Structure 1
Amino acid sequence: MASSADVHVRICGQEIIKYDLEIKALVQDIRDCPGPQSVLMQLNSQVKEKFNKLRMRIQDLEQMAKEQDREMDRLAIRAETESQRRQMLSNQTAWRKANLACKLAIDKTEKDELLHGENQVTRQRKVTKENLVESSSNITESLMSLSRMMAEQVKQSEDAIGTLGTSSRTVQETNEEFRNMTGTIHLGRKLILKYNRRELTDKLLIFLALALFLATVLYILKKRIFPFI
């Protein structure tokens, strides 16, 4: 049955192999990178991170070699550590070469694009000169269309002002009619109140007259029936 130390050594060796393969894959990506510089910088950042992890695991493996009880195991792990360290140095050399090749390729691509851009600018200038006359004609036609449009807008504005004037007069006439109606309503109210007061006065006079009549009748009856009282 394998000891705990053997399991740790095996796990550490597997992680070292994993980081080694990941670094090789990233180095190949750098070698094939078409650019731009930002992509190359991102790939280099990933490679640095993997190298740091690989270096730490190699140091762990070296420490495990010191902790072995048997000399044979200690020598075997040290040999594996040295082999992985040499492989890491080889990967670093390949990484630098890939960076150099990628940067040269990106510089060449940028120069080609610059030359292509200058040629394109020259062609665009020629096309621009040929289109100047056409553009000038189009601008003149556009200005004429704009002038006609502005004239139509002015006419529409004049019509709108006339409509607003007519509407204003109609509103004023309506207000005048409302004022007349209001005066008539006030006059009618006054007449109604006056009529109500007169009706009340008439009722009071009728009541007084009736009371006076009844008093007179009672007085006459009293004199006729009771002459000595």
Structure 2
Amino acid sequence: MAASLDVHVRICGQEIIKYDLEIKAFIQDIRDCPGPQSALMELNSLVKVKLNQLRLRIQDLEQMAKEQDREEDRLAIQTETESQRKQMLSNQTAWRKSNLACKLAIDNMEKDELLHGIQNPTLKQRKVTKESLVETSGDITDSLMSICRMMDHNVKQSEDSIGTLATSSRTILETNEEFKSMTGTIHLGRKLILKYNRRELTDKLLIFLALALFLATVLYILKKRLFPFY
């Protein structure tokens, strides 16, 4: 079961890396996109899909961390999860900046066309799609806020886990102190038992000597009465 889980962790990690690289490539394409707006919107749609896939795989990796039996493995996977989540946040920031840079480039190109009197049949369409670009920026902002809330939730869970560990540590220390007290009691009891055994042996020896003296006295009296001349 553990080996199967390790395989799933590796596969999940490989998929996360693949989605991360694909997102970075799409962000670079957005940064270099000369237009038109339809091409930019298509690239943004691809980034949204990949970000959603990446977010789901990170959640899967986080769940796998909770299923680990060894504390060392669980902490290692949780660390990797946090690293990948921060990387995703960095990608979203870069995505937003690339969109703004591309929008600025398109605006500058439109201004140049207006200044030079060039009739561009798609100019009106580009102005209309600016609203779509603004909406896309809003979606990215919402995604960033969602990730921040998720990170805050994870921080609270980590604090709860630390509190639980602290309580467990105190319980272990108290149990250890109880064991030490019981060990002292057992040691004292052993001494008392040994002392009692020695006293019992002494009592038996005294009883034996008294009995021997009694028998010797009886024999002596019998001898004097039965054989007075001896």
TM-score of the superposition, structure 2-length normalised?
0.50
Instruction: Please state how far the C-alpha of 1:111 moved relative to its aligned partner.
Output: 1.4
Q: List alignment gaps of at least 5 residues for structure 2.
A: 121-230
RMSD, aligned CA: 1.9
Deviations 1:105-153 (A, max 9, x none): 0011111112223599xxxxxxxxxxxxxxxxxxxxxxxxxxxxxxxxx
Match for 1:5: what amino acid? L
Match for 2:77: what amino acid? I
Instruction: Please state how far the C-alpha of 1:45 moved relative to its aligned partner.
Output: 0.4
After the TM superposition, which residues 157-176 of structure 1 pair with which residues of structure 2 at under 5 Å, given as runs? none
CA distance in 2, matches of 1:24, 1:81: 18
Deviations 1:143-182 (A, max 9, x none): xxxxxxxxxxxxxxxxxxxxxxxxxxxxxxxxxxxxxxxx
CA distance in 1, matches of 2:12, 2:111: 46
SS of the equivalent of 1:117 reads coil
CA distance in 2, matches of 1:39, 1:64: 38
CA distance in 2, matches of 1:50, 1:93: 15
Identify the residue that residue 16 of structure 2 maps to in structure 1: 16
Q: List alignment gaps of at least 5 residues for structure 1.
A: 121-229
Identify the residue that residue 73 of structure 1 maps to in structure 2: 73
Match for 1:9: what amino acid? V
After the TM superposition, which residues 103-118 of structure 1 pair with which residues of structure 2 at under 5 Å, given as runs? 103-117=103-117
Identify the residue that residue 57 of structure 1 maps to in structure 2: 57
CA distance in 2, matches of 1:67, 1:119: 63
Deviations 1:167-207 (A, max 9, x none): xxxxxxxxxxxxxxxxxxxxxxxxxxxxxxxxxxxxxxxxx
Q: Is the 8 A contact 2:62 2:78 kept in 1?
A: yes
CA distance in 1, matches of 2:27, 2:95: 6
SS of the equivalent of 2:42 reads helix
Identify the residue that residue 37 of structure 1 maps to in structure 2: 37
CA distance in 2, matches of 1:111, 1:63: 51
Q: Is the 8 A contact 2:31 2:102 kept in 1?
A: yes
CA distance in 2, matches of 1:77, 1:8: 12
SS of the equivalent of 2:69 reads coil
4+ residue runs over 3 A deviation: none
CA distance in 2, matches of 1:88, 1:61: 14
| Pair 43,118 (structure 1): closer, same or farther in 2 beyond 3 Å | closer
| Pair 119,88 (structure 1): closer, same or farther in 2 beyond 3 Å | closer
Verify: 1:88 aligned to 2:70, yes or no.
no
Identify the residue that residue 6 of structure 2 maps to in structure 1: 6
SS of the equivalent of 2:116 reads helix
CA distance in 2, matches of 1:55, 1:118: 44
Instruction: Please state how far the C-alpha of 1:57 moved relative to its aligned partner.
Output: 0.1
Aligned sequence identity (%): 82
Q: Tell me the number of residue pairs that the alignment of Structure 1 and Structure 2 aligns.
A: 120
| Pair 119,32 (structure 1): closer, same or farther in 2 beyond 3 Å | closer
CA distance in 1, matches of 2:118, 2:97: 32
